[in-house]
């Protein structure tokens, strides 16, 4: 048990790293040089707010038990039952923290759909409301033993979501698409080139996400009640299951990277570094729900399908004229659906999940459960995100001024610029020093 | 005196510099610039989105020279920077009224 506990400390820190800084780097590199700081701040800010909200009422609303879900079968759990982690023992704090990092990255993922144009204040208002109305209820229904989980478990199979295909990726993907629709396009979308300003940051971000994902997927192991009582059974499940999830997470990601590169080589003539980084993320997204449900070949199939399909899907936004800026829909919604639904076909009783899918003679039962879990998330979050987005739009408003957006949201929202590359005429030069000494409180403005 | 300005392909810059140095040119101002002519730009694809990048990177060389050297220097640059393909660049010459060396105050030819 102590080995498992130590592992959870590491896994939790790994998942923290996925938001701060991995996702911020991944998204930051893809945005334009005038808005990279704002893009990164959306991840950092989301993490800070999500953490506070999570310990105050998020855990209570989503799980409501002492270190685990309360399995009450309710569609929504009370945010006040365990407000401020009342009733959670200190020894179980790490399980709360592990889930906290998931809530944070899920809401941070949405920010990619609305890059370069949203007021920081509106984003920081959106984060806690969305978590409260969308994330915690879905988590309760899928992981916390809420209504959906209990309904689907009544059949011969149950919905499998090992680490968050529905709760994290479909959830963030559909929310991102709706926000992009309601908030609207960036000035110059489909007219001006909006290419990534620094793909080395994106490559580093994708690599760190992959590394952190071992905490995310492998750390999501849940022990069978019988195994918790017996040390031999316990370590049997621990070693056997983490071996499978670690393996599946690795090879699915490799297959997805290759799938994406092959698809874009066919569609556009070149295999790109952005394609490799995107393929990595698409594969990780798709193997997230399925890493405990499939075997080796299943993992390769999940990855390859996700990589190829997501590579084709990211082009759709131009046909739909939807400015999902960094492809939250194309990667997370599509990848999340691929992973969640493929379980219905590729799930095998030889994997830890223990359910046979359609291709392994299990019939349609598993596919039905997976489809219902995906639909539940799509409908719930689709409706409530629309309500939240419209409410913010008609009260405090979402967007910065058009002029501020064109000149760069970094300076408008943060009073900073990310890069200062002109060595002799930069803020270190004489004019900067002069400005600092004469109008000290406003000296940042002189550096713009 | 004349100002010789040349806009050339970046990968030809080292050859041009060497040739000019051999001829006896002792200094020049060089900048990395971007622009386009008949060559136009190129296309880049990011996640399936094709962007026409209108501007192509070039090197701009500026040299102030004595009138009698002008033709030779233009010839050296043209010969060295030439690949025969579209996008090789341009060289142009404009008159200069006066030149001062900041360190000594020397003027015109003495300042070159």
Contacts 24+ apart (CB under 8 A), A61-64: A61/A132, A61/A136, A61/A137, A61/A140, A62/A99, A62/A103, A62/A135, A62/A136, A62/A137, A62/A139, A62/A140, A62/A143, A62/A144, A63/A96, A63/A99, A63/A139, A63/A140, A63/A143, A63/A144, A64/A140, A64/A144
Is pLDDT at A436 greater than 70 in this prediction?
no
Contacts of A206 in chain B (CB under 8 A): none
| Cα A268 from Cα A281, distance rounded (Å) | 20
Mutation choice for A interface testing from B46, B53, B54 by most A CBs within 10 A: B46
A17 prior amide bond cis, ω within 30: no
Nearest CB to B51 within list A195, A278, A314: A195
Strand partners, B35: B56
Q: Annotate A29-63 with DSSP letters as a single string.
A: HHS-TTTHHHHHHHHHHHHHHHHHHIIIIIHHHHT
Nearest-neighbour CA in chain B from A307: distance (Å): 12
- Helix (H) / strand (E) element for B49: namely strand B49-53
Nearest CB to B46 within list A195, A269, A330: A195
What pLDDT is recorded for position A423? 64
Residue A342: partners with Cβ closer than 8 Å, 6 or more residues away = A286, A290, A294, A298, A301, A302, A305
Q: Do the chains contact at B48 and A270, CB–CB below 8 Å?
A: no
Judge whether A39 and A25 are in contact, CB under 8 Å.
Answer: no
Residue A178: partners with Cβ closer than 8 Å, 6 or more residues away = A382, A385, A386, A389
Is pLDDT at A103 greater than 70 in this prediction?
yes
pLDDT band at B68 (very low <50, low <70, confident <90, very high): very high
pLDDT band at B111 (very low <50, low <70, confident <90, very high): confident
Q: Do the chains contact at A193 and B47, CB–CB below 8 Å?
A: no
Half-sphere exposure of B34 (CA within 13 A, CB side): 8
Q: What is the pLDDT of residues A111-126, one digit of tens each?
A: 999 999 999 999 999 9
Task: Indicate the Cα dihedral angle A271, A275, A279, A281, nearest 10°.
Answer: 160
Strand partners, B32: B59
Interchain CB contact of B85 with A (< 8 Å): no
Strand partners, B58: B33
Q: Domain residue spans in chain A?
A: 2-224+361-393
Is pLDDT at A81 greater than 90 in this prediction?
yes
Is pLDDT at A73 greater than 60 in this prediction?
yes
Q: Do the chains contact at B49 and A318, CB–CB below 8 Å?
A: yes
What pLDDT is recorded for position A424? 61
Q: Do the chains contact at A264 and B45, CB–CB below 8 Å?
A: yes
Q: What is the pLDDT of residues B45-56, one digit of tens each?
A: 898 888 888 888
> A9 vs A4, A16, A144, B107, CA distance in Å?
9, 11, 21, 74
Domain A2-224+361-393 part of CATH 1.10.3430.10? yes
User: In which region does residue A294 sit, left (phi positive, over 0), alpha (psi from -120 to 50) or beta (all else)?
Assistant: beta
Task: Count interface pairs A-B at CB distance under 8 A.
Answer: 32
The answer to whether the predicted template modeling score (pTM) of the entire model surpasses 0.90 is: no
Judge whether A9 and A101 are in contact, CB under 8 Å.
Answer: no
């Amino acid at each position: 048990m102590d080995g498992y506990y130590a592992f959870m400390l590491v896994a939790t820190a790994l998942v923290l790293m996925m938001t701060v800084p991995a996702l911020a780097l991944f998204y930051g590199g893809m945005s334009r040089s005038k808005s990279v700081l704002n893009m990164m701040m959306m991840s950092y800010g989301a993490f800070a707010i999500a953490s506070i909200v999570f310990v105050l009422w998020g855990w209570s609303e989503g799980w409501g038990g002492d270190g685990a879900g309360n399995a009450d079968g309710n569609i929504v759990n009370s945010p006040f039952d365990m407000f401020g982690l009342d009733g959670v023992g200190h020894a179980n704090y790490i399980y709360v923290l592990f889930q906290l990092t998931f809530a944070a990255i899920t809401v941070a993922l949405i920010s990619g759909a609305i890059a370069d144009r949203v007021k920081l204040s509106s984003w920081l208002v959106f984060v806690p409301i969305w978590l409260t109305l969308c994330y915690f209820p879905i988590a309760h229904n899928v992981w916390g033993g809420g209504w959906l989980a209990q309904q689907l478990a009544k059949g011969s199979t149950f919905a499998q979501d090992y680490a968050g295909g529905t709760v994290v990726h479909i959830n963030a993907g559909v929310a991102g698409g709706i926000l992009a629709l309601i908030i609207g396009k960036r000035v110059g979308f489909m007219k001006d080139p909006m290419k990534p300003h620094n793909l080395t940051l994106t490559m580093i971000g994708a690599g760190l996400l992959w590394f952190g994902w071992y905490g995310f997927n492998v750390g999501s192991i849940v022990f069978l009640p019988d195994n918790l009582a017996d040390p031999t059974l316990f370590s049997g499940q621990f070693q056997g299951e983490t071996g499978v999830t670690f393996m599946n997470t690795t090879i699915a990601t490799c297959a997805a990277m290759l799938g994406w590169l092959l698809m874009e080589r066919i569609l556009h003539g070149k295999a790109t570094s952005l394609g490799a980084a995107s393929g990595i993320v698409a594969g990780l997204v798709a193997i997230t729900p399925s890493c405990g449900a499939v075997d080796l070949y299943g993992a390769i199939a999940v990855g390859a399908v996700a990589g190829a399909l997501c590579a084709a899907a990211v082009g759709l936004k131009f046909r739909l004229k939807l400015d999902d800026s960094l492809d939250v829909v194309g990667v997370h919604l599509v990848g999340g659906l691929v992973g969640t639904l493929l379980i219905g076909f590729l799930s095998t009783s030889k994997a830890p999940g223990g359910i046979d899918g359609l291709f392994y003679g299990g019939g349609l039962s598993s596919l039905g459960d997976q489809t219902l879990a995906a639909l539940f998330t799509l409908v719930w979050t689709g409706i409530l995100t629309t309500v939240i987005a419209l409410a913010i739009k008609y009260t405090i408003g979402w967007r910065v001024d058009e002029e501020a957006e064109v000149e760069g949201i970094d300076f408008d929202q943060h009073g900073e610029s990310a890069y200062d590359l002109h060595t002799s005429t930069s803020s270190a030069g004489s004019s900067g020093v002069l400005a600092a000494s004469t109008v000290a409180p406003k000296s940042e403005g002189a550096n713009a | 005196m004349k100002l010789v300005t040349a806009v050339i392909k970046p990968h030809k810059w080292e050859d041009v510099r060497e040739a000019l140095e051999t001829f006896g040119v002792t200094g020049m101002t060089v900048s990395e610039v971007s622009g386009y002519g008949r060559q136009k730009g190129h296309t880049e694809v990011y996640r399936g989105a094709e962007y026409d990048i209108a501007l192509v990177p070039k090197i701009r060389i500026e040299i102030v020279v004595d009138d009698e050297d002008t033709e030779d220097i233009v010839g050296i640059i043209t010969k060295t920077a030439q690949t025969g393909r579209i996008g090789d660049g341009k060289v142009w010459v404009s008159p200069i009224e006066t030149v001062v060396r900041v360190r000594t105050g020397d003027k015109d030819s003495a300042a070159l």
